[in-house]
Amino acid sequence: MGSSLYAERPPAAAPGRQVACVWVRRNTAGPEYGQLVVPDGCVDLVWSAAGLEVVGPDLAPRTVPVPGGAELAGVRFRPGAAGLLLGAMPVRELCDLQVPLAEVVGGGAERLAERLEGRLAGRTPERCAEGRAERCGEWGGEWGDEWRAGVRGPADAAAVLDAFVAARVPGWSPDRLVERAVTVLGRPERVRLPELAAELGLSERQLRRRTTDAVGYGPKTLHAVLRFRRAVAWARSGGSAGAGAVPELAAVAARAGYADQAHLTREVRRWSGLSPTVLLGRAAARPGQAPPGAS
């Protein structure tokens, strides 16, 4: 496998309520390798040699080729928040797709590409939003060294993407009912859709439609995906044993909200194509790498 550097940080300019992180990746020296991507309910705005693209939410695991020498940067939108980038376009239309940004935002993509070209060529002085530049220094290791040294590359591209997303905030109104639904569906407790719909003042049909339009998944699928992600995140943290350890699967199942270990095993295979032992062992063996599912 190639030597891949990956890092993510909180957004410096874009709102953290809608943006999960800003990330960078580089395949430093090795040949092309396959990066496992698993469903997470998120939409990403990505810069790479292929140009500017929008990656929709995945419905199944997939392996993405990362060529030798590849450099990428991106902004990851939280589930239900992709409207900040897509506007009125339903997210369900992007499931399992990776499309040019120009197909989504029109002329805005060309202007963003020009800003990126200028920044990476050193012709523009753009940095992070005033008063928040310290966030851009949060890149760890080589990424932080490059940023502080003024080296042009993915960290600079990430800052431009971050600012681009922030500039779209004034013209966008989030769907507070969807935000609330995502919050409830992200909890370990069992969720009864009739009760959730009633709490939001919606019919079950309205809840399914609004969630699918905003996230790409219906409520039940989103609940399952978020539970899977919660299990992986807790296991990668080492659980109560601390970082680097792989907790017992029964403990992971109980903590994440699964009925039992068998239920966890079925769902992990469904969303990753791997057994829990393989998936969690892979994650624990590569501390500092992207969590499963990061593109």
- Closest by CA to 16, choosing from 224, 147, 162, is 162
- 2, 28 Cβ separation under 8 angstroms: yes
Output DSSP code: residue 143: H
Alpha helices in the chain (DSSP H): 83-86, 102-105, 107-120, 133-136, 141-149, 154-167, 176-185, 193-200, 204-215, 219-236, 249-256, 261-272, 276-285
The amino acid sitting at 112 is: L
Output DSSP code: residue 161: H
- Closest by CA to 49, choosing from 104, 120, 106, 105, is 120
Q: What is the pLDDT of residues 66-102, one digit of tens each?
A: 898 899 999 999 999 999 999 999 999 999 999 999 9
- Closest by CA to 164, choosing from 126, 194, 197, 193, is 126
Mean pLDDT of the chain, nearest integer: 85
Q: pLDDT digit of tens for each residue in the chain (295 aa)?
A: 446 788 999 999 999 999 999 999 988 767 888 889 999 999 999 999 999 999 999 999 999 998 988 999 999 999 999 999 999 999 999 999 999 999 999 889 999 999 999 888 775 555 554 334 555 556 666 666 665 555 568 988 999 999 999 999 998 999 999 999 999 999 988 999 999 999 999 999 999 999 999 999 999 999 999 999 999 988 888 655 555 555 788 999 999 999 999 999 999 999 999 998 888 765 433 323 344 444 4
pTM as predicted:
0.86
Helical (H) or strand (E) element with 71: strand 71-77
